[in-house]
Structures are given as structure tokens and as C-alpha cells.
């Protein structure tokens, strides 16, 4: 099972920061690789995508010993998988007569969930093959057994394959299931083990290692300019802001008097910060946010934790992610309820479980998720499991928002251009990133697409070395190689993007919408941290990444739902694209000050990330150049349809009928 990485970025010495590990997505009727039953051997149906791409003849090292222990999940398709996808689209499309006619969680289960007969049939088949059933619920049947039983159950031998210098087992051919249970099985996950190293931790580690920003700072964009430093772009660049707070972000994105009252935003990450309640309350007091009322913030935690060690998921590294997400949502939507639902690890199984908890019990209206992996790590089996959750949520009026990534087109870091997942799913809202300038009096000045280059100050202090410098991070985006173009992008996304990189038909392009993500123009966050002298104390620092953009957009959506008189927005993409080209959005470009006018900020950072004992570095951070991606007039692959403007939230106010 693939693991997921958090999308925190930009805190440590201004570099993009991955606070943990890897992620995934998929889709039925909106255009996606088929993951369900297809034609297989006589009397059996194939589960497309269950043999991973890396299981090639060249990497094959022979049959896996039949005594090898395997654990897997057989996900259940339910009684009407196609009907679920169709209804999810209908209730999400403003042009549909069924728009907004959501079902309750119980109605959804009754209409689309698996029948008792389906569960019994799948369970009986697995047991008859010699597999031990270790758990059963409305979503899947989990099993354990040896490779011989796997062969009997799924009609494929497991082989050992070399991948990234390590050996893993995987199906040597596409898994199949008996035709008698074909309609009941969505897919099987876990027949490959790249990687799947399980151990249990009943306790989580303490607060993560400290990080502190060095000054000088600007209090608002452009307020502090040091003219003794070298000029750039025809003038002297200002120092970076100390970190925007809720008042500035609310002004920039048109919050007006809306507060998110009556709306519940869920946040999913792995693990749980042991100091989260104290930290968020202290942050609110220090930065002018509304105090949390009793019960406004709550958590749903698993009974135990897995994969928590630094060489697997690095549990402590996720604490700052939870803190950022909660503080950002509360800063933008100060009266919204916030529910944190923790994954027991950063593995797909555990993250899917956290999403199931929200959907099964209709715990929230909006779900913010700041974790991902690259599309090349995605497999259709896991994609199908994620999309089933997204579709079920859409039927209930729940929307899922995912960070688009922090490495631009991913080519520099991962060797080829690709998007991140699950943000690539046509059933999820992909949130891209911007660099944001909020001026004096909390006035919105401009945004560029987030794409940053760094040039260090020369030793003599007279020049910026290698100006504009190396690419350090930028919003993820681009054209999916797996998912076809969904209906809501038609007529909005340019053909040059939808059919990029040799695509033979229009494909899904991300992101869908954007908000502040550049760590140089980022958000001030407060968290308890462990300092080098072993002291553990609260400290504040500036942070960015699309891990910031996703909860900011989730907060804005809470405001929009309140403006809509509390009616859930649900799966938001059709409504987002329906507003394209209107005053609802800032049309973000890379050159808001003019085509030939570049923009930069000066940053001073501690070399050791904590204090001046190791010295400081001074650098110029140039904005608006995101790998091969560009923020242009109209829809683009850095900011999507744009960022919320002053008219966005109020565009959801119901109009009187005439």
C-alpha cells in the first residue's frame, strides 16, 4: 500500500517541506481508468489495474514463495455502483434538476451500499479459497493468507519484482474474481506490498523539531524595504511578511461579514498533535482570531497508531500539518465547527478509513486534505476505493478539497511531468497556489501563480548570485495521464492544456481553484515544538505550500455555504466552473504588475532553522515562475479558474425568483 506525504511547505529555511510520506484517486462517470469488473477468463471477471505498472518482465525475479503471507482488502462495489456515480453528478451539477437534492447517510447506504447477500457471497468465496477473513464492514472485507490462497482466490500468481532497488511482490497478471461475485467486488487492494511495513505504536512521539523565522519582516506586503541591498527588477525588493493572519486573508478573499457559522469543516491528516488544543487556543489569542467556543473544535482518533516511525510515516512530522490546517480554517471561518479526523498512519488504507468515518456518519460538509503523492505512484485499484468515498460524499452533499502539490510539474524532483493525487481525481477539488500581496489596511494588491526561485546574496553584498536562481517550489498542476476530462471542464480548460503531452483526447487538468501558498507570502502558524536545548515550547513561524491553500479554500467554502443559507455546496467543481469568468474570481497571472515587470521579496533565514548561532542567509525570492507551468489570463494550470475575489462568497447568496 502506498503511503502519503503531507503537503506542508516552505517553513524550513524557505525550502519546500514534505513533513511525511506519499498518496492516490480515481473516478467513474466523470472520466477515469476503469477499476471494476471487466472480461476475464471464462467464468471470471477481471479487476482492471490490479497488476501495477512496475511489475514488468524485466523487473521479474520469479514466483513468490507460496508460503508468503499476504494481507488485502476486497472493496465492495455496492448494489448500484454506476447509479452512485450518476447520482453524484446529478446532485452536484447546477444545471441538473436534481442539483442539491442530497441524501442522508442512511438513505445513501440503503440505496447504494452493499446488500447482506453481496457481503455474504464475497466472504464465502474468500474463505473457500483458503483466506482468513480478518474484518468486514460496509466498505470492504479484509483478508490474510498465503500466496497460494491468493492464487486460488484471484486467479493470479504473485511474483517478486525489483522496484527502486528493493524487491516487492505483486500479481503477475490482472486479478480476477468469480463471475458470481463480480457485481459485488469493486477492486482488491494489497496484492502488492510496495511498501507495506506494519508495526504498532500505542503512543505517538513528542512535538517535532523546532523551526523559527529570522527577521527583518514586513508587517504587510511592501512595508519594509532595505535600500542597502542590491536592486532587482528595477527597484529594491521588500522584506517578506512575518506571516499573514486571518484578518488579512479574510479581506483578500472576500469574507465580508460571513464567519462560517453553522458549517462543519473536517480535516484529515495522519496522527494527531498532542498539543493541538493548547496551541490553537494560544494562537487565536495572540493573533486576533475569535476564541474557540466550547465544542467548536473536536477530534475523532483511531484506537491505535501504525507506521509512526521516522523511516515510515514520521508521525511527529504530521503535527505541524494538523496545526496549520486547523489554524488556517479557523482564521478564515472563525465560527465554523472544525472536526479533525486522524488517520492511524499515512498509508492509503488508514486515510481511506478516516474519510469513510466522515461520510458514513455525515460528520461534515467540507473536507480539507493536505496530503498527496505523484500520479505515477497511483494504481487504479486504490483510485477506485478513493473515488467511491468521494462519490458517496457527493451524494450526501460533502465536498473534498486536496492540495495540488508543492513541486510544480514534478519533473525536477520525480523525473517527469505529472500531477499529484488524489487532487487529480475528477471527483475531488484540486487546490493550487498563489503568491499573495496584501497591502496596508488589509487591501488586496495582487497575486501571482506560486512558483519561486531563490538567489542568495553574494559575499560582498553587492549582487544576487545566479539571479533569479534555482527553482525552490511551486503549485502543482498540469494534465493527468490517467483521467479523462470531466464534463465541468469542457469549454473552460483550453485544448492546449487538456490535450498536452501527447494526449489523444481531452484529459483532466488541475488545479481547479487556488489560494495563497508561497511560503514567502505565507501564513503565520503557532505550534509547540522541541528546541535544540530539549526545551518544549510554543513558537510561531511563517509557512506555506498548497497545504495552506487547501484549508484556506475550505474556510472560504464554509463562508459560501453560510451565504447560501446553510445549504451544502457538496462536490464543488461544477459550481466552481459555472462561475468561471465572473467577478467571483481574481484572474491570477504571473505578471500582475505588467508583462515585463518581475517581482521579488527578500528573505533572511537562520542557517540552523532556529537561531542566529549558525548565522543567517539573505536571499531574493522571485515570484511567478512555476517550472513549466504558467499562470495566464483565463484558466491555467497553476491557479485553475483563479482565487476567490470579493464577489465569490456573495455569489452563493440565493437570488430571488421572479
Cβ atoms 401, 512 nearer than 8 A? no
Segment 521-539 mean pLDDT: 96
Q: Which percentage of the chain shows pLDDT scores above 70?
A: 93
pLDDT range class, residue 379, cuts 50, 70, 90: confident
The 10s digit of each residue's pLDDT in 261-284 is 999 999 999 999 999 999 999 999
Kindly report the number of other CB atoms within 10 A of residue 135's CB atom.
Answer: 10
Taking CA atoms, 215 is separated from 88, 459, 465, 542, 588, in Å, by: 49, 19, 21, 11, 29
Kindly report the number of other CB atoms within 10 A of residue 241's CB atom.
Answer: 26
- For residue 313, what is its C-alpha cell? 510515516
Q: How far apart are CA 480 and CA 637, in angstroms?
A: 11
Q: Which percentage of the chain shows pLDDT scores above 90?
A: 86
537 contacts: CB under 8 Å, gap ≥ 6: 528, 529, 531
Does position 22 have pLDDT exceeding 60, yes or no? no
Segment 474-478 mean pLDDT: 97
In sequence order, which ranges of 513-637 are alpha helices (DSSP H)? 546-563, 573-578
**Lookup result for grid cell 468469480:** 178
pLDDT range class, residue 249, cuts 50, 70, 90: very high
Does position 134 have pLDDT exceeding 80, yes or no? yes
Q: What is the pLDDT of residue 53?
A: 87
Q: Which residue has the higher pLDDT, 415 or 368?
A: 368
Segment 90-104 mean pLDDT: 97
Does position 45 have pLDDT exceeding 60, yes or no? yes
CATH no., domain 5-25+204-652: 3.40.50.200
Range with the poorest average pLDDT among 100-114, 194-208, 566-580, 619-633: 194-208
Taking CA atoms, 306 is separated from 339, 400, 502, in Å, by: 21, 24, 41
Does position 598 have pLDDT exceeding 70, yes or no? yes
Q: How far apart are CA 18 and CA 249, in angstroms?
A: 24
Kindly report the number of other CB atoms within 10 A of residue 191's CB atom.
Answer: 24
Segment 507-519 mean pLDDT: 98
Segment 20-46 mean pLDDT: 50
Does position 634 have pLDDT exceeding 70, yes or no? yes
Segment 150-154 mean pLDDT: 98
Does position 196 have pLDDT exceeding 80, yes or no? no
Segment 25-48 mean pLDDT: 58
Does position 195 have pLDDT exceeding 70, yes or no? no
Of residues 74, 77, 96, 76, the one with CA closest to residue 86: 96
Does position 197 have pLDDT exceeding 80, yes or no? no
Q: How far apart are CA 55 and CA 553, in angstroms?
A: 39
Does position 27 have pLDDT exceeding 60, yes or no? no
Hey, is 295 helix, strand or coil? coil
pLDDT range class, residue 337, cuts 50, 70, 90: very high
- For residue 330, what is its C-alpha cell? 479557523
Q: What is the pLDDT of residue 40?
A: 63
Cβ atoms 2, 194 nearer than 8 A? yes
Q: What is the pLDDT of residue 202?
A: 57
pLDDT range class, residue 378, cuts 50, 70, 90: confident
- For residue 269, what is its C-alpha cell? 491528516
| 78 Rama class: left (phi>0) / alpha (psi -120 to 50) / beta | left
Rounded to the nearest integer, the mean pLDDT of the chain is 92
Q: What is the pLDDT of residue 29?
A: 37
Q: What is the pLDDT of residue 158?
A: 98
pLDDT range class, residue 441, cuts 50, 70, 90: very high
Q: How far apart are CA 1 and CA 138, in angstroms?
A: 21
Does position 225 have pLDDT exceeding 80, yes or no? yes
Q: What is the pLDDT of residue 24?
A: 26
Q: What is the pLDDT of residue 206?
A: 86
Q: What is the pLDDT of residue 25?
A: 28
Q: What is the pTM of this model?
A: 0.94
Q: What is the pLDDT of residue 294?
A: 97
Hey, is 24 helix, strand or coil? coil
Segment 418-431 mean pLDDT: 96
Q: What is the pLDDT of residue 535?
A: 96
Hey, is 169 helix, strand or coil? strand
Does position 18 have pLDDT exceeding 50, yes or no? no
Does position 9 have pLDDT exceeding 80, yes or no? no
Does position 596 have pLDDT exceeding 90, yes or no? no
Pairing of strands 366-369, 305-306: unpaired
**Domains in the chain: boundaries:** 5-25+204-652, 37-201
Segment 351-359 mean pLDDT: 97
Amino acid at each position: 500500500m502506498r503511503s502519503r506525504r503531507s503537503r506542508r511547505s516552505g517553513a524550513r529555511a524557505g525550502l519546500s517541506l514534505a513533513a511525511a510520506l506519499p498518496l492516490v484517486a480515481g473516478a467513474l462517470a466523470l472520466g477515469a481508468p476503469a477499476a471494476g469488473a471487466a472480461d476475464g477468463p471464462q467464468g471470471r471477471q477481471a479487476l482492471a489495474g490490479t497488476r501495477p505498472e512496475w511489475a514488468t518482465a524485466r523487473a521479474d525475479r520469479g514466483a513468490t514463495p507460496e508460503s508468503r503471507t499476504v494481507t488485502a482488502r476486497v472493496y465492495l462495489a455496492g448494489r448500484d455502483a454506476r447509479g452512485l456515480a450518476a447520482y453524484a453528478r446529478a446532485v452536484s451539477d447546477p444545471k441538473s434538476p436534481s442539483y442539491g437534492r442530497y441524501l442522508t447517510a442512511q438513505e445513501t447506504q440503503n440505496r447504494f451500499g452493499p446488500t447482506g447477500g453481496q457481503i455474504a457471497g464475497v466472504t464465502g468465496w474468500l474463505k473457500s479459497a483458503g483466506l482468513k477473513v480478518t474484518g468486514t464492514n460496509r466498505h470492504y472485507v479484509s483478508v490474510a493468507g498465503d500466496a497460494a490462497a491468493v492464487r486460488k482466490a484471484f486467479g493470479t500468481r504473485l511474483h517478486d519484482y525489483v522496484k527502486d532497488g528493493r524487491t516487492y511482490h505483486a500479481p503477475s497478471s490482472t486479478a480476477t474474481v468469480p463471475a458470481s461475485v463480480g457485481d459485488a467486488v469493486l477492486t482488491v487492494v494489497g496484492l502488492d506490498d510496495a511498501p507495506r511495513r506494519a508495526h504498532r505504536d500505542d503512543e505517538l512521539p513528542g512535538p517535532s523539531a523546532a523551526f523559527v523565522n529570522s527577521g527583518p519582516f514586513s508587517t504587510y506586503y511592501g512595508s519594509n524595504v532595505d535600500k542597502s541591498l542590491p536592486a532587482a527588477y528595477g527597484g529594491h525588493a521588500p522584506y517578506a511578511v512575518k506571516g499573514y493572519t486571518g484578518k488579512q486573508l479574510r479581506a483578500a478573499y472576500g469574507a465580508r461579514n460571513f464567519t462560517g457559522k453553522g458549517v462543519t469543516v473536517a480535516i484529515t491528516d495522519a496522527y494527531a498533535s498532542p498539543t493541538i488544543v493548547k496551541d490553537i487556543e494560544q494562537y487565536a489569542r495572540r493573533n486576533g482570531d475569535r476564541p474557540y467556543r466550547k465544542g467548536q473544535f473536536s477530534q475523532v482518533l483511531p484506537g491505535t497508531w501504525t507506521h509512526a516511525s521516522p523511516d515510515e510515516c514520521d508521525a511527529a512530522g504530521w503535527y505541524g500539518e494538523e496545526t496549520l490546517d486547523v489554524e488556517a480554517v479557523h482564521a478564515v471561518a472563525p465560527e465554523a465547527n472544525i472536526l479533525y479526523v486522524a488517520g492511524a498512519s499515512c498509508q492509503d488504507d488508514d486515510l481511506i478509513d478516516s474519510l469513510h468515518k466522515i461520510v458514513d456518519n455525515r460528520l461534515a460538509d467540507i473536507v480539507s486534505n493536505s496530503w498527496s503523492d505523484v500520479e505515477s505512484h497511483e494504481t487504479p485499484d486504490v483510485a477506485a476505493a478513493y473515488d467511491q468515498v468521494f462519490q458517496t460524499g457527493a451524494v450526501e452533499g460533502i465536498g473534498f478539497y486536496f492540495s495540488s502539490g508543492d513541486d510544480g510539474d514534478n519533473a525536477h524532483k520525480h523525473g517527469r511531468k505529472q500531477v499529484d493525487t488524489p487532487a487529480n481525481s475528477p471527483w475531488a477539488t484540486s487546490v493550487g497556489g498563489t503568491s499573495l500581496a496584501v497591502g496596508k489596511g488589509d487591501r488586496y494588491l495582487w497575486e501571482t501563480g506560486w512558483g519561486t526561485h531563490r538567489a542568495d546574496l553574494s559575499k560582498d553584498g553587492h549582487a544576487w548570485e545566479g539571479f533569479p536562481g534555482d527553482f525552490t517550489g511551486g503549485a502543482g498542476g498540469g494534465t493527468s495521464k490517467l483521467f479523462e476530462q470531466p464534463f465541468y471542464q469542457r469549454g473552460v480548460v483550453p485544448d492546449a492544456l487538456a490535450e498536452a503531452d501527447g494526449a489523444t483526447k481531452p484529459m483532466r487538468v488541475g488545479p481547479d481553484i487556488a489560494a495563497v501558498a508561497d511560503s514567502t507570502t505565507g501564513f503565520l502558524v503557532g505550534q509547540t515544538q522541541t528546541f535544540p536545548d530539549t526545551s518544549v515550547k510554543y513558537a510561531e513561524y511563517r509557512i506555506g505550500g498548497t497545504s495552506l491553500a487547501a484549508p484556506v479554500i475550505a474556510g472560504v467554502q464554509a463562508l459560501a455555504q453560510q451565504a447560501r443559507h446553510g445549504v451544502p455546496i457538496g462536490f464543488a467543481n461544477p459550481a466552481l466552473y459555472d462561475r468561471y469568468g465572473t467577478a467571483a474570481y481574481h484572474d491570477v497571472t504571473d505578471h500582475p504588475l505588467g508583462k515585463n515587470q518581475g517581482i521579488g521579496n527578500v528573505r533572511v533565514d537562520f542557517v540552523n532553522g532556529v537561531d542566529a548561532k549558525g548565522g543567517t542567509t539573505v536571499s531574493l525570492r522571485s515570484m511567478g515562475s512555476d517550472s513549466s507551468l504558467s499562470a495566464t489570463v483565463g484558466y491555467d494550470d497553476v491557479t485553475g479558474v483563479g482565487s476567490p475575489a470579493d464577489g465569490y462568497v456573495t455569489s452563493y447568496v440565493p437570488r430571488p425568483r421572479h
